[in-house]
Amino acid sequence: MQITYTEGQLQEVVKQIIIKAKSKTICFYGEMGAGKTTLIKEFIKELGSMDNPNSPTYGIVNEYNGKTGDLLAYHFDFYRLNNETEALDLGLEDYLSADAWILIEWPEMVKSLLPNDKTEVYIEILSPNTRKLTILD
């Protein structure tokens, strides 16, 4: 499935990802500046979190809860990892077994640790304001 969109269409794009996702683990691929974090921020809002989503680039993982405090999602940014061992040390396997959405930026850094039942989302820059999203499941 492919979608071409602008920032004003993010809410609808996220709804399509949720509908198309075959599991709660979603891997976001795209070059720096493609809009992975922006898309995930909208995803967190769409799930109903009252938290203010931000990039976990330095902390590696952010946790987001719903209005009643229930766990909604983990947002990982593996850009700064040196190797997969660091993800294991972080407890990635435990996170992956949680009953929550797992949203991963730079999943190629932990390729062999990812579950088979993941949804892959590829973001391509078409212009400064337009992106093409491809969803593989």
Cα dihedral 83/84/86/87 (nearest 10)? 140
CATH of the domain at 102: 3.40.50.300
pLDDT of residue 55: 73
pLDDT in tens, the chain (137 residues): 999 999 999 999 999 999 999 999 999 999 999 999 999 999 999 999 988 777 766 678 999 998 888 899 999 999 999 999 999 999 999 999 999 999 999 999 999 999 999 999 999 999 999 999 999 86
Distance CA 81, CA 91 (A): 14
pLDDT of residue 52: 78
Q: Domain limits at 128? A: 2-136
- Copy the structure tokens of residue 34: 């493609």
Cα 83-89-91 angle, rounded to 5 deg:
115
Identify the three-state secondary structure at position 29: strand
Distance CA 18, CA 12 (A): 10
pLDDT of residue 57: 65
Structural domain total, the chain: 1
Cα 49-107-83 angle, rounded to 5 deg:
120
